[in-house]
């Protein structure tokens, strides 16, 4: 219960201004330490913006390690290190578990409540705050801070004064006035003598020029890469999900890039966004390093191993052979099968993209036709239905020809160097197995045509 001074002014130990998630946490923790605490919220209920975060699913936090986590707060992210060392994402998850909130972790380390219900999170926080003994006062906009000889001594609310030993401002930014985020905290802090850095939009959707976005309104894309070009030079990029709106672009990767874009726009720079609708092989499983390792193994190490395996067998059977001798004899025999196999793979990949050639030629950027592609409404009448199968059969002939050519080369070389027949049989098996693998892949692909 608040104490009354001689002038009948309510006196608390802690006043928290703003009933968002920061205010609820601050008030609850203060009351938990035994402080008499009041929470002042100008709207009719706390946590309005939290109720709509993550499209109503409530994106709670991210499990990225601290060094990576702070980089997403811009160049001044290091300012938060001290606070995060005391209370980080793992602590928040544990805190929510105490409130009986189950969580799930999605791609990119994003954490959501299992029931994907943001209002339920707000209700859980409000119940916790009240159990802690916090006095929650809604429809209570703070008009001004009250200053005394030793600093801030309270606030004025609705013409009445509330005094406290400590006043905490947790009013958030100015991003969503309908939820109460109107920038009141900047005004209050400035009245107390603080210097306010000019605010700018961050983590916001982007308004685009032209009619591309309105035409694709409501289209949500996953696994796309967005690249930001500033004055024609690529500066930033991100990979993940995005959304077309009636005014422009939104979604997780757009929001994460928006701060950098806003900074460039303030400097009158020209901004261009390019959207790659195809999954980049270097971003396999979202990590370029993993994709690169996969490619090195598939296209360099595996062929190299197959190429040098006969040399190892040759050394066992004829220890006096040198690497140069091998290259001049059997080494070249394996070039046809490896070259033909990878050429066949390239043809197979091209044939899988044929349905989108129309789109690529008529719409090089791709975004005009993105909705039609995803909804499978693009007509393929201009592409002969027999063409993919014909290319697959061409690839099959190439692999068979490469296999036969390698075997013939091995046979002719063996006659020149008088190779042991047992070892020769092993040499025949290598191109046969290598070619056989690709032939099986081709037949499997044909079954899906």
Pairing of strands 10-17, 37-40: parallel
User: What are the structural domain ranges in the chain?
Assistant: 3-58+116-191, 206-276, 287-446
Contact of 159 with 142, CB cutoff 8 Å: no
Q: To 5 degrees, how large is the angle CA 29–CA 31–CA 37?
A: 120
13: nearest Cα among 134, 127, 169: 134
Topology of domain 3-58+116-191 in CATH is FAD/NAD(P)-binding domain (3.50.50)
Please report the DSSP string for 43-68 in residue order. SSSS-TTGGGGGGGT---EE---HHH
Q: Round to whole Å and give the CA distance between 27 and 131.
A: 11
> What pTM was estimated for this model as a whole?
0.57
Q: Round to whole Å and give the CA distance between 173 and 250.
A: 19
The residues that bridge with 135 in the sheet, in sequence order, are 38
Q: Which two tokens stand for residue 169?
A: 């401002």
| Count of CB atoms situated within 10 Å of the CB of 267 | 8
Q: pLDDT tens for the chain, 449 residues: list them.
A: 565 554 567 899 999 999 999 999 999 999 999 999 999 999 999 999 999 888 788 989 999 999 889 888 877 788 899 999 999 999 999 999 999 999 999 877 889 999 999 999 999 999 999 999 999 999 999 999 999 888 899 999 988 999 999 999 999 888 888 888 889 999 999 999 999 988 888 788 899 988 888 888 888 888 788 999 999 888 898 888 898 888 899 988 998 899 889 889 988 999 999 888 755 444 444 444 555 666 666 666 776 776 677 667 666 665 566 677 666 666 677 778 777 877 877 776 666 555 444 444 444 444 444 444 444 454 444 456 677 678 778 888 888 888 888 888 777 776 666 556 666 666 677 777 777 777 777 777 666 55
């Amino acid at each position: 219960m608040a104490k009354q001074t001689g002038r009948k002014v309510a006196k608390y130990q802690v006043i928290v201004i703003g009933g968002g998630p920061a205010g609820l946490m601050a008030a609850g923790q203060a009351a938990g330490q035994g402080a008499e605490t009041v929470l002042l919220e100008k709207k009719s209920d706390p946590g309005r913006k939290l109720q709509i975060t993550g499209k109503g699913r409530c994106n709670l936090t991210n499990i990225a390690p601290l060094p990576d986590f702070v980089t997403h707060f811009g160049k001044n992210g290091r300012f938060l290190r001290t606070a995060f060392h005391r209370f980080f994402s793992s602590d928040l998850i544990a805190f929510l578990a105490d409130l009986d909130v189950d969580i799930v972790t999605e791609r990119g380390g994003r954490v959501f409540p299992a029931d994907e219900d943001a209002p339920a999170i707000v209700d859980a926080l409000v119940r916790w705050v009240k159990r802690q003994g916090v006095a929650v006062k809604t429809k209570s906009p703070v008009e001004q801070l009250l200053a005394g000889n030793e600093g801030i001594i309270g606030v004025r609310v609705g013409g009445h004064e509330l005094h406290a030993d400590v006043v905490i401002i947790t009013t958030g930014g100015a991003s969503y006035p309908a939820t109460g985020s109107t920038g009141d905290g900047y005004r209050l802090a400035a009245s107390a003598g603080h210097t306010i850095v000019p605010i700018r939009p961050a983590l916001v959707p982007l308004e685009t020029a032209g009619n591309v976005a309105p035409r694709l309104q409501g289209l949500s894309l996953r696994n796309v890469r967005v690249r930001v070009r500033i004055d024609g030079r690529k500066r930033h990029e991100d990979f993940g999900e995005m959304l077309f709106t009636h005014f422009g672009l939104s979604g997780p990767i757009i929001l994460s890039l928006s701060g950098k874009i806003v900074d460039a726009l303030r400097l009158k720079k020209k901004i261009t966004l390019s959207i790659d609708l195809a999954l980049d092989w270097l971003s396999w499983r979202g990590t370029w390093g993993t994709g690169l390792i996969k490619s090195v193994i598939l296209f360099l190490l595996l062929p190299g191993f197959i190429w040098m395996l006969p040399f190892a067998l040759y050394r066992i059977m004829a220890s006096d052979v040198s690497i140069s001798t091998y290259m001049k004899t059997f080494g070249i025999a394996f070039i046809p099968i490896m070259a033909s196999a990878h050429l066949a793979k390239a043809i197979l990949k091209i044939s899988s993209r044929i349905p989108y050639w129309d789109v690529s030629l008529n719409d090089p950027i791709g975004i005009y036709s993105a909705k039609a592609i995803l909804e499978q409404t693009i007509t393929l009448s201009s592409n002969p239905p027999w063409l993919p199968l014909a290319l697959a059969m061409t690839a099959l002939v190439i692999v068979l020809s490469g296999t036969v050519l390698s075997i013939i080369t091995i046979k002719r070389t063996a006659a020149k160097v008088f190779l042991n027949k047992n070892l020769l049989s092993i040499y025949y098996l290598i191109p046969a197995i290598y070619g056989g693998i690709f032939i099986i892949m081709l037949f499997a692909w044909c079954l899906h045509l």
